[in-house]
């Protein structure tokens, strides 16, 4: 279903680089402060921490919905502060996002929701039909292509949201609680999907509360607490 | 799951807005007014060019009726005038208007039963110039007054100039109406577009985050506006066309030739029929410019 990103893991310059980043809204307190880390191409990290720690804000920074109040964010080698409005769409198309609240378009079918990033990228309809059908089949929704989100369960909507995030083979995949509404079996299946993408060269960052999932997959963790970051070592736990 | 052609498929639920539901009716009303105004412009143009075509190469000699003139006097006077005219190079034909022709002339104003003989009407001589001929009007006028002192040569130029000035004024006013109507339609589209951007803010933000450029969003709004403008334009055209046809029919019934709307030709109707396309294009362009400007100011 997927092919390896050309040049993945060859160029080890970080895909994401945050240096001394702080975020605050207006004159309010810092939501994030002194955040510095780098994500190399083709790596998978978990972003963990309690509710309100700033995980979603950090993800918003990375999917270019927010600019830092202080510090520097570099994505794909470009300083976000220097980006013009017209520079954003091509960069955003290299990023896949699974939103915590899914953010599916209610008036579009599961198929059309997943097809949207490909249509934005100008992919031909014949290819869209093939790839979207395959992916929705893979996430277990092959029989719900024409269903509107309102007719899908929470878990099914989440799978559509994940399919939409990965369909265009993003270089950077950001997922906010992607397994929050699915049972363990589906959660594992989705994690295997993320692992497959990361092995093919996608840089993956998964914000999650699911400690058992984190324990099960041996990847680096970024631990956020009170808006500050603590880097945890790679867990050595076995995958299964 | 048969996808619509890319150009018409909308990822934004624009068709479900209450605000845009009324746009076709607003555009329809504007196109209705524009159709009437345009019909006025075209009819005024047709009327003047018709008059010009009719009157070019034509002169009229007018002989006021003396109070106590006998028929013999009048015939002698007319003959002297005709002699002068036929002897003038460049004049192809000269003919005194008889009672039937006079009755036809005054018929539209006084009714078909008005007898020309009962009124102190002047004697008229219709003169046709030969093709491409020019006649020195001043010299001819002098020769005519030498033959019949009260004869007056009318080359219709004064009247035609006044009619043309009036026609230009009518056209100017109608063009202003067209301008106002277009501006009003554009403002309605602008308002609906701004409301649409506001209503669908979240969806637009999401589509942006998925990598859509502003022009992608603009394309969705502009084709929605194009479709609505065209539907509204057709509604307005249907109503406007019916009204113009009704006015033309009434004009033909009431006073054949007096009211210019009856003179619209196929070319004029084609121009009026293009109004829905123009309305759709105005709507599309307005929506596109509005979306690009508003989104350009955001974030």
**pLDDT of residue B76 exceeding 50:** yes
How many whole angstroms separate alpha carbon A28 and alpha carbon A65?
19
Q: Are residues B183 and B292 in the same domain?
A: yes
At residue B113, the pLDDT reads 66
**pLDDT of residue B160 exceeding 60:** yes
pLDDT, mean of residues B114-122: 67
- Please indicate if any CB of chain B lies within 8 Å of the CB of A88: yes
How many whole angstroms separate alpha carbon B18 and alpha carbon A126?
35
Q: Are residues B112 and B204 in the same domain?
A: no
**pLDDT of residue B285 exceeding 50:** yes
**pLDDT of residue B204 exceeding 70:** yes
In a domain, B4, yes or no: no
Q: Which residue of B has its CA nearest to A105?
A: B203
> A21-30, A64-73, B30-39, B143-152: which has the minimum mean pLDDT?
B143-152
Domain end (from B89, B121, B149): B149
At residue B67, the pLDDT reads 67
- The sign one gets for the Cα dihedral B129, B134, B135, B137 is positive
Residue in A85, A93, A107 nearest the CB of B211 = A93
Q: Tell me A144's DSSP state.
A: -
- Please indicate if any CB of chain B lies within 8 Å of the CB of A117: yes
In a domain, B71, yes or no: yes
How many whole angstroms separate alpha carbon A68 and alpha carbon A75?
13
Q: Which residue of B has its CA nearest to A110?
A: B1
In a domain, B59, yes or no: no
Q: Are residues B177 and B257 in the same domain?
A: yes
In a domain, B282, yes or no: yes
Q: Name which of B8, B10, B210 to mutate to probe chain A: the one with the most chain A Cβ atoms within 10 A of its Cβ.
A: B210
Q: Are residues B44 and B86 in the same domain?
A: no
Q: Is B30 exposed, middle or buried (0-12, 13-18, 19+ CB in 10 A)?
A: buried
Mean pLDDT over each residue of chain B, to the nearest integer: 82
Q: Are residues B176 and B124 in the same domain?
A: no
Counted across chains A and B, CB pairs separated by less than 8 A come out at 59
Domain end (from B120, B149, B178): B149
Q: Which residues of B touch A117 (CB under 8 A)?
A: 210-211
At residue B263, the pLDDT reads 67
Q: Are residues B223 and B174 in the same domain?
A: yes
Which residue has 């092995």 as its token pair?
A: A199
The pair of three-digit structure tokens given for residue B256, joined into one six-digit string? 């054949």
Q: B229: closest CA among B35, B31, B34, B27? A: B27
State the smallest CA–CA distance between residue B233 and chain A in angstroms. Answer: 28
**pLDDT of residue B142 exceeding 70:** yes
Look at B130 and A18; give whichever has higher pLDDT.
Answer: A18
Q: Are residues B98 and B186 in the same domain?
A: no
Reduced to 3 states, what is the DSSP secondary structure of residue A220? strand
Dihedral-angle region of residue A218 (phi above 0 means left; psi in -120 to 50 means alpha; beta otherwise) = beta
Q: Which of residues 210-229 of B touch A (CB under 8 A)?
A: 210-214, 216
Q: Are residues B234 and B265 in the same domain?
A: yes
At residue B261, the pLDDT reads 47
Confidence category of residue B256, pLDDT binned at 50, 70, 90? low
How many whole angstroms separate alpha carbon A41 and alpha carbon A8?
7
Q: Are residues B28 and B88 in the same domain?
A: no
Question: Could you give the number of structural domains in chain B?
Answer: 2
Contact A103 B206 (CB under 8 A): yes
At residue A239, the pLDDT reads 38
Contact B211 A105 (CB under 8 A): no
In a domain, B132, yes or no: yes
At residue A154, the pLDDT reads 84
The answer to whether A60 touches A66, Cβ cutoff 8 Å, is yes
How many whole angstroms separate alpha carbon A197 and alpha carbon A162?
12
Which residues pair with residue A75 across a beta bridge?
A16, A78
Confidence category of residue B168, pLDDT binned at 50, 70, 90? confident
pLDDT, mean of residues B139-152: 84
At residue B221, the pLDDT reads 92
In a domain, B293, yes or no: yes
At residue B1, the pLDDT reads 42
Range of the domain at B225: 14-52+160-297
State the smallest CA–CA distance between residue B160 and chain A in angstroms. Answer: 60
At residue A235, the pLDDT reads 46
Residue A194 phi/psi, 5-degree rounding, is -60, -40
Q: Are residues B181 and B99 in the same domain?
A: no
The answer to whether B43 touches B260, Cβ cutoff 8 Å, is yes
Q: Are residues B120 and B267 in the same domain?
A: no
Q: Which residues of A touch B207 (CB under 8 A)?
A: 116, 120
Q: Angle at Cα A142 formed by Cα A139 and Cα A146, nearest 5°?
A: 120
Domain end (from B111, B130, B149): B149
Checking DSSP bridges between strand B58-63 and strand B123-129, what pairing results, if any? antiparallel
The pair of three-digit structure tokens given for residue B283, joined into one six-digit string? 């709507």
In a domain, B96, yes or no: yes
Residue in A111, A117, A125 nearest the CB of B210 = A117
- Weakly modelled stretches of chain A, pLDDT under 50: 7, 10, 233, 235-240
In a domain, B58, yes or no: no
The pair of three-digit structure tokens given for residue B135, joined into one six-digit string? 């006649």
Checking DSSP bridges between strand A78-79 and strand A95-98, what pairing results, if any? unpaired
Residue A231 phi/psi, 5-degree rounding, is -85, 125
The pair of three-digit structure tokens given for residue A127, joined into one six-digit string? 């290819």
Q: Which residues of A touch B200 (CB under 8 A)?
A: none
**pLDDT of residue B228 exceeding 70:** yes
**pLDDT of residue B267 exceeding 60:** yes
Q: Are residues B82 and B221 in the same domain?
A: no
> A97-106, A186-195, B23-32, B193-202: which has the minimum mean pLDDT?
A186-195
The pair of three-digit structure tokens given for residue B138, joined into one six-digit string? 């001043």
- Please indicate if any CB of chain B lies within 8 Å of the CB of A78: no
Q: Which residues of A touch B212 (CB under 8 A)?
A: 89, 120
């Amino acid at each position: 279903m997927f092919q390896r990103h050309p040049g993945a893991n060859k160029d080890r310059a970080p895909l994401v680089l945050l240096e001394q980043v702080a975020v605050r809204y207006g004159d309010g307190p810092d939501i994030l402060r002194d955040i510095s880390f780098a994500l190399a191409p083709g790596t998978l990290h978990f972003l963990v921490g309690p509710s309100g720690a700033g995980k979603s804000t950090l993800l918003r920074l990375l999917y270019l919905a927010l600019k830092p109040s202080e510090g520097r964010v570099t994505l794909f080698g470009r300083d976000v502060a220097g980006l013009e409005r017209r520079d954003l769409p091509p960069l955003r198309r290299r990023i896949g996002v699974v939103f915590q609240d899914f953010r599916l378009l209610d008036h579009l079918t599961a198929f059309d929701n997943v097809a949207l990033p490909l249509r934005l990228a100008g992919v031909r309809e014949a290819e869209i039909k093939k790839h979207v059908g395959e992916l929705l089949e893979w996430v277990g929704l092959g029989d719900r292509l024409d269903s509107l989100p309102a007719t899908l369960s929470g878990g099914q909507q989440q799978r559509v949201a994940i399919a939409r995030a990965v369909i265009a083979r993003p270089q950077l995949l950001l997922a906010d609680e992607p397994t929050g509404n699915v049972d363990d079996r589906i959660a594992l299946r989705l994690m295997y999907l993320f692992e497959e993408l990361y092995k093919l060269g996608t840089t993956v960052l998964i914000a999650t509360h699911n400690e058992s999932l984190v324990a099960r997959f041996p990847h680096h963790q970024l631990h956020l607490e009170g808006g500050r970051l603590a880097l945890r070592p790679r867990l050595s736990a076995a995958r299964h | 799951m048969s996808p619509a052609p890319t150009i018409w498929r909308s990822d934004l639920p624009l068709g479900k807005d209450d605000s845009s539901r009324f746009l076709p009716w607003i555009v329809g009303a504007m196109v209705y007014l524009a159709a009437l105004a345009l019909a006025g412009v075209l009819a005024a143009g047709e009327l003047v060019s018709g008059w010009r075509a009719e009157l070019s190469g034509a002169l009229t000699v007018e002989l006021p009726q003396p109070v106590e003139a006998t028929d013999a006097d009048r015939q002698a006077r007319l003959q002297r005038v005709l002699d002068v005219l036929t002897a003038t190079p460049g004049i192809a034909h000269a003919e005194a208007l008889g009672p039937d022709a006079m009755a036809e002339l005054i018929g539209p104003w006084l009714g078909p039963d008005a007898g020309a003989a009962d009124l102190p009407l002047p004697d008229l001589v219709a003169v046709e110039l030969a093709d491409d001929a020019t006649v020195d009007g001043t010299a001819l006028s002098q020769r005519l007054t030498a033959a019949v002192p009260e004869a007056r040569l009318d080359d219709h130029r004064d009247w035609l100039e006044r009619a043309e000035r009036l026609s230009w004024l009518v056209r100017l006013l109608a063009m202003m109406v067209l301008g106002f109507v277009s501006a009003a339609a554009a403002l309605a589209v602008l308002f609906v577009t701004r409301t649409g951007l506001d209503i669908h803010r979240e969806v637009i933000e999401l589509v942006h985050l998925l990598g859509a450029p502003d022009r992608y969003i603009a394309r969705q709004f502009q084709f929605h506006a194009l479709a609505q403008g065209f539907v509204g334009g057709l509604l307005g055209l249907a109503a406007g066309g019916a009204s113009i046809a009704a006015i033309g029919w009434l004009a033909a019934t009431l006073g054949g030739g007096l009211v210019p709307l009856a003179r619209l030709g196929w070319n004029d109707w084609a121009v009026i029929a293009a109004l829905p396309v123009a309305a759709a294009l105005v709507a599309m362009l307005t929506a596109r410019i509005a979306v690009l400007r508003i989104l350009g100011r955001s974030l």
